[in-house]
Structure 1
Amino acid sequence: MKKYSIFLKIAAVLWFVWGAVHVLAGVMTDNFILSGDIAGAVGGIADAVDPSTLKANYPGAAGAVIGQHGFNLLWIGLTTLICSIFVWKGNKNAILLAALTGGLADLGYFLFMDLGGYVNFVPGTVMTLVSGSAIILSTIAYFKISNLKRDKTADNKV
């Protein structure tokens, strides 16, 4: 059982890092928006795009949409940060919540940003690999540990 609990510990650290990076990204994105720099916010996210092509007279609604994105980055990051504590302890609800919030957020990032060619490998794509690794490790650990506990319980009943 201990053999697989290390997977949960590693997954928890990965979710902690992923969450912290996304809290920071959310704060930075919203800081750009609140200062009126929509191009800076877009450039911070789409870092493979030439910044000079982002200079435009954006409508306020575009800034609001990007501001909402920054807020979503913040709460998703905070959620996975909190989940990381409980993933460390093997809590199945935290494993599921972190995978749903962080995993689905990064799936959208991968589909629209990575495949669109708008980002560099670091940091965004690396964070997608981090969340994917955390999901895989915690899922393996959870099912292996659950099976070992079930087998022990069955052995004790015999």
Structure 2
Amino acid sequence: MKNLSILLKISAVLWIIWGIVHILAGIMTMNGILSEDISSSITGIADAVDPSSLQMNYPKATGAVIGQHGFNLFWIGIVTFISAFFIWKGHKNAIFLATITGGLADLGYFLFLDLGGYVKFVPGSIMTIISALAILTSFYYYYKNRKINPPE
């Protein structure tokens, strides 16, 4: 079992990285909206799109939606970042909380941005790989550990 605990530590470090990147992405996205530069926020997210094609006067409601997206990136980053420290200690609820928040956020990213062809591989797609590895390592630990120490 002690050898398996390294998996939790790997997962925790991956979630810390993922959380920090998403906290920063949220701040940058919200900053673009608050400074009324909606196109820079969109360019920051959809980096494979020609920036000149995104230069236009967007309705304020579009900025509000993208601002909400930035806020969601921010709080999801915070939740996974905090969860990582509890994952390190082996708390199974933290494993599931990080998986639900970070994992589902990245699933949406993968479905709509990666598969849509709107992003370059770096950094967003790498974050999807990081979250998938964090989920796999912690779930592997959880289910292997459960066989060793079955619930009472």
- TM superposition score category, shorter chain reference: over 0.9
- Equivalent position of 1:19 in the other structure: 19
* Distance in 1 between residues matched to 2:13 and 2:145, nearest whole Å: 19
* Distance in 1 between residues matched to 2:50 and 2:118, nearest whole Å: 10
C-alpha distance after superposition, 1:87-130 (max 9, x if no partner): 10111100000000000000000000000000000000000000
- Equivalent position of 2:79 in the other structure: 79
What secondary structure, in the 3-state scheme, does the structure 2 residue paired with 1:48 have? coil
Alignment of 1:1-150 (within 5 A): 1-150=1-150
Please report how far the alpha carbon of residue 2 of structure 1 lies from its aligned counterpart in structure 2 after TM superposition: 1.0
What secondary structure, in the 3-state scheme, does the structure 1 residue paired with 2:4 have? helix
* Distance in 1 between residues matched to 2:131 and 2:29, nearest whole Å: 21
Please report how far the alpha carbon of residue 148 of structure 1 lies from its aligned counterpart in structure 2 after TM superposition: 1.2
* Distance in 1 between residues matched to 2:100 and 2:108, nearest whole Å: 12
What secondary structure, in the 3-state scheme, does the structure 1 residue paired with 2:3 have? helix
Please report how far the alpha carbon of residue 150 of structure 1 lies from its aligned counterpart in structure 2 after TM superposition: 2.8
C-alpha distance after superposition, 1:27-59 (max 9, x if no partner): 000000000000000000001111000011100
- Report the residue type matching 1:11 in the other structure: S
Count of aligned residue pairs for this structure pair: 152
* Distance in 2 between residues matched to 1:14 and 1:34, nearest whole Å: 30
* Distance in 2 between residues matched to 1:147 and 1:85, nearest whole Å: 24
What secondary structure, in the 3-state scheme, does the structure 2 residue paired with 1:150 have? coil
C-alpha distance after superposition, 1:122-142 (max 9, x if no partner): 000000000000000000001
Divergent runs of 4+, >2 A: none
Q: Mark the runs of 5 or more structure 1 residues left unpaired by the alignment.
A: 154-158
* Distance in 2 between residues matched to 1:127 and 1:71, nearest whole Å: 18
**TM-score, scaled to structure 2:** 0.98
Identity across the alignment (%): 63
**TM-score, scaled to structure 1:** 0.94
Please report how far the alpha carbon of residue 146 of structure 1 lies from its aligned counterpart in structure 2 after TM superposition: 2.0
* Distance in 1 between residues matched to 2:65 and 2:133, nearest whole Å: 30
